[in-house]
Structure 1
Amino acid sequence: MNRPVDHSGFRMVGVVTRTHGVRGGFKVRPETDDPYRFEALETVYLGDALRAHTIREVGFQPLKNGLAVLLELDGVQTREAAEALHGLEVWAAEEDLPPLEDGQVFLSDLVGLQVRSESGEVLGEVVDVVEYPAHPTLSVRRSGGSLSMVPFVEELVPEVDSDAGYLTVVALEGLLDGEPASERD
């Protein structure tokens, strides 16, 4: 029987998307606001089993909406070996990552936070964070069960207190009132 792997102490930093070249290189879609964090890593861990691989080379490729990270790892020497990694999550040990600056958070830490209005009223809970090219967006489950999408930008989410378990959202008409726009007019 397989036991689930304990991911505590690790952060998911990307997902393998496709091969790159013929020497076992591959592209990673970064799951971080700063893809250059990969430069500080010596080791990454692949898949649910968190198999450790030493990084041989890190590169970057500009895309229309950001950067792809190019990785070459010890033990992945051929295109076929890289193809076998397609879709795997790329993890890093938290202790290997550069520290966050003041005001920065890991997006994954937002899931489960209570969503409050500026007056302290509980509006719902963050159930997912969807990353779009412009900015991440919070999926908020309202107390009635409906979902609302809230752009994760400072103007709309001025306060995040992950230690206390909540974030504050600025009340804008239609943002978290649960009514379709056609019913508000």
Structure 2
Amino acid sequence: MEDLFQVGIISSTHGVRGEVKVFPTTDDVNRFKKLKKVLLNTGSERICLEIENVKFFKQFAILKFKGYDNINDIEKYKGKSLLVTRENAVELEENEFFVADLIGIEVISDDGALKGNLKDVIETGANDVYVIALEDGRELLLPAIRECILKVSLEDNRMLIHVLEGLLD
């Protein structure tokens, strides 16, 4: 299971006082209001940053980090990811999972006919769609609804599914 989750990507600087525009990769942009610290993934290291101020502009969160008071201090981090630890991740409801924990999980159909691995999750307006790479080389797009997702066990790294009629024709 993953211990770090991406919550945003620094898209650009904002002004000259060290603020950055962050494109949120979390479901709830307002979660930045509650965050005290994030980890900046520079590619070669992870830097712990303390959030000093948060405001919002269009779809972006504007963050100011303590100790970064100049555009020159922060400009080099454009395009870098902001991460949180599992402890600082949002609380999940029952039968909710982090996408990072589901990727790669073994998938088996309730009739035993299909086996594969979860390759990707597509977020749509209504419900997520799981992209499952089947052992025979085909790909199954399965809606993440109760009729299709029967059981998920992260401990066993396994998902039991039911394939609705017509999904594999």
TM-score range with shorter-chain normalisation? 0.7 to 0.9
**8 Å contact from structure 1 (residues 114, 122) kept in 2:** no
**8 Å contact from structure 2 (residues 2, 100) kept in 1:** no
What is the alpha-carbon distance in structure 1 between the residues aligned to residue 147 and residue 58 of structure 2? 28
Q: Is there any run of 5+ residues in structure 1 with no aligned partner, and where?
A: 1-6, 178-183
Residue of 8, 13, 24 corresponding to 1:19? 13
Q: Displacement, 1:126? A: 0.8
Cα deviation, 1:75-132, whole Å, max 9, x if unaligned, reads: 3323344432222111112223343232221111011111222445443101233445
Q: What does 1:1-185 correspond to in 2, within 5 Å?
A: 9-47=3-41, 48=43, 49-63=45-59, 68-131=60-123, 135-154=127-146, 156-175=148-167, 177=168, 184=169
**8 Å contact from structure 1 (residues 40, 97) kept in 2:** no
Cross-structure match for 1:180: none
What is the alpha-carbon distance in structure 1 between the residues aligned to residue 150 and residue 57 of structure 2? 33
What is the alpha-carbon distance in structure 2 between the residues aligned to residue 133 and residue 23 of structure 1? 37
TM-score by length of 1: 0.72
Q: Which amino acid in structure 1 is aligned with residue 55 of structure 2?
A: G
Structure 1 residue matching 2:31: 3-state secondary structure: helix
C-alpha change, 1:50 and 1:153, in structure 2 (3 Å) is: farther
What is the alpha-carbon distance in structure 2 between the residues aligned to residue 141 and residue 76 of structure 1? 44
What is the alpha-carbon distance in structure 2 between the residues aligned to residue 114 and residue 106 of structure 1? 16
**8 Å contact from structure 1 (residues 155, 170) kept in 2:** yes
What is the alpha-carbon distance in structure 2 between the residues aligned to residue 30 and residue 147 of structure 1? 29
Amino-acid identity (%) = 29
Moved more, 138-147 or 165-174: 165-174
Q: Which amino acid in structure 1 is aligned with residue 106 of structure 2?
A: Q
Count of residues in correspondence between the two structures: 167
TM-score by length of 2: 0.78
Structure 1 residue matching 2:77: 3-state secondary structure: coil
**8 Å contact from structure 1 (residues 116, 169) kept in 2:** yes
Q: Which amino acid in structure 1 is aligned with residue 54 of structure 2?
A: V
C-alpha change, 1:121 and 1:31, in structure 2 (3 Å) is: farther
